[in-house]
Structure 1
Amino acid sequence: MKYLRMSVIIQAPLKGAEIQFFEDALSHKTVYMNGAHPLTLKHGIVVPMDIVPDGNRIWTTSFIDPTALINGKIMLDGDFIYIAPFVELDSLFGGIRIGEGTNIQDGASLKGPAEIGCSVSIAHKASISNSSIGNFCFIGFGAEIKNSRIGAGAFISHGAKIESMNVQEGGYVPPGGSRCEGEISEALKDFKEEVLHVNSELVIGYIDLLYAFGERALLQIAPSPKTSWAKTYQFPEADSVRTLGPCRIIGGIFFAGEGEVGERTSIRGDEGYPIRFGKGVRIGQRSVFHSLKGAGIEVGKNASIGNDTVIHGPAKIGNNALVGNRCIILKSTIAEGEVVPDGSVIIERHEK
């Protein structure tokens, strides 16, 4: 009998006050790899129900963060799949299939039925329901796709809202847009390739990190993996931070003093870093901080970040700034004391 190569999901429960949360979150997951060998969770580790003849249970080539919430049955159809912190996959009303080389970023949500192709990037806080996404697509921060078909190679920009539409192959939807406006540029194609490359490295990096540090690698405050752009492990400096529920603070993160981080917020210094926070910073629930390679984020003292907001570097948030809920800030500067209204999308805005 021929046995198919299976991707692996490596997960481990947290220790301490949050362990019950993660045990509850992991308790109802069933994942299938390549259509064969259903996998179930045992003490937070995904293992196949059937063991192949040579005794190898799993191949370590895909990674799901332990904070991801999975309801129902999910098909991971290939290797090098990365599912980031606090992703929500809900297949209770229809199956979800995720293709090889796809990455689903922090706080994104998928509701079945959903078909996600190969080499797809679904960025932070994006949401997809009852839709199909073709191979090599990019879905931007906070984008919403409902009851739609997205053709292969399309680029759906940050904050876009697509409903009951067919987007052509190679189509381009601008930031905040609701329909296709031409074709994707060569520069955006190169950007998509770079995102895929980075996340394939992170898959292997997080697996290696787990072997190096054990469950410590999956705690709320944890190191980031070694990669081609980070030759050493990066460790957060966040001893003075008050966490208001389960969260993830990973890698090159530095808090200058006391601060607050809300429940299910993800701050990842595993690609771009450092990410620095001044004293007295307050961060709401379900928000995301992340940055591109070679760039960081600076958040000034006493700044306040709302719920469900994405701050993606390079970015600078000034002292005493107030960023509202459901905002997207990318490659931008927010001035000292500035108030950013709820729902704002700010891209490539800099100080004069």
Structure 2
Amino acid sequence: MTHGPLYPFEGKLPEIHPEAWIAPTAALIGDVTIGAKSNIWYHCVLRGDTNFIRIGRGTNIQDGTIIHVNAGKQATQIGDDVTVGHAAIIHACTLMNRAFVGMGATVLDDAVIEEDGMLAAGSVLPPGKRIAAMELWMGNPAKLVRILTPEQRAGFDKTAPHYVELSGRHRASLG
């Protein structure tokens, strides 16, 4: 099996790049586009029904994550080499290239995580908030904790390529 269930919504079917990997138990609905080498893991739900979801290249959306949109107002746009940890909620927001969202974190409507910005595990980024490059935010509501050093950030940059490689192994194992 090459990917999980793809469901049309009002005539729009998800578009998956042939080099992307979608776990067999993930569900993608409606106006969803997945870029090359991106990987959507087990039990994720990406519902592009009342607006669109765009995911770039080499991004990993880990197990149990929910991605949705805001009706007619805010789409969800996720760039390249982004990591979204297990069981996150990504709602009507923007995650720029190499953004990092920790496990169980929530990003709400019209929020932005800039390139190289990070939201810690379990944190909630309120509507309209913006995490700048190299900032680490934490808490509920999330607040700036510190500016990351290039060395600290470099450690997190290994996650997206690891998931690209791991998704290839899952694809091969599943046939």
Normalising by structure 1, report the TM-score: 0.44
Counterpart in the other structure of 1:10 = 2
Letter in 2 for 1:28: Y
Alignment of 1:43-122 (within 5 A): 59=18, 61-76=19-34, 78-112=35-69, 113-122=75-84
Where does residue 145 of structure 2 map in the other structure? 181
Identical amino acids, percent of aligned pairs: 21
Determine whether 1:203 maps to 2:160: no
CA distance in 2, matches of 1:174, 1:27: 34
Tell me, what secondary structure is at the counterpart of 2:49? coil
Aligned to 1:160: 123
Q: One-letter code of the match for 1:125? A: A
Q: Separation in 1 of the partners of 2:51 and 2:77?
A: 10
Deviation at 1:11, TM superposition (A): 2.6
Contact 1:159 1:177 (C-alpha < 8 Å) held by counterparts: no
After TM superposition, list the pairs within 5 Å mapping 1:290-329 onto structure 2.
Answer: none
**Structure 1 unmatched runs, 5+:** 1-8, 13-25, 35-58, 212-352
**Partner Cα distance (1:138, 1:124) in 2:** 12
Q: How many residues align?
A: 164
Give distance in 1, aligned partners of 2:80 and 2:146: 23
2:105 equivalent to 1:143: yes
Question: How far is the alpha carbon of 1:97 from its aligned partner?
Answer: 0.1
Deviations 1:151-180 (A, max 9, x none): 111011011111121221222113555122
- Secondary structure in structure 2 of the residue aligned to 1:94: strand
Contact 2:6 2:29 in 1 (8 A): no
Unaligned runs of 5+ in 2: 70-74
- Counterpart CA distance in 1 for 2:159 and 2:172 is 20
CA displacement 1:27-85 (0-9 Å, x = unmatched): 62422246xxxxxxxxxxxxxxxxxxxxxxxx4x2210111122212011x31111110
Kindly indicate whether structure 1 or structure 2 has the higher relative contact order, using CA contacts under 8 Å at least 6 residues apart.
Answer: 2
What is the alpha-carbon root mean square deviation over aligned residues? 2.0
| Matched residue type, 1:155 | M
User: Are 2:26 and 2:45, in contact at CA under 8 Å, matched by a contact in 1?
Assistant: yes
In structure 1, what is the Cα distance between the partners aligned to 2:56 and 2:92?
16
Distance in 1, matches of 2:131 and 2:6, equals 37
Point out the structure with max Rg over C-alpha. 1
Q: Give the structure-2-normalised TM-score.
A: 0.85
Q: Give deviations 1:217-268, integer Å, cap 9, x for gaps.
A: xxxxxxxxxxxxxxxxxxxxxxxxxxxxxxxxxxxxxxxxxxxxxxxxxxxx
SS at match of 2:28: strand
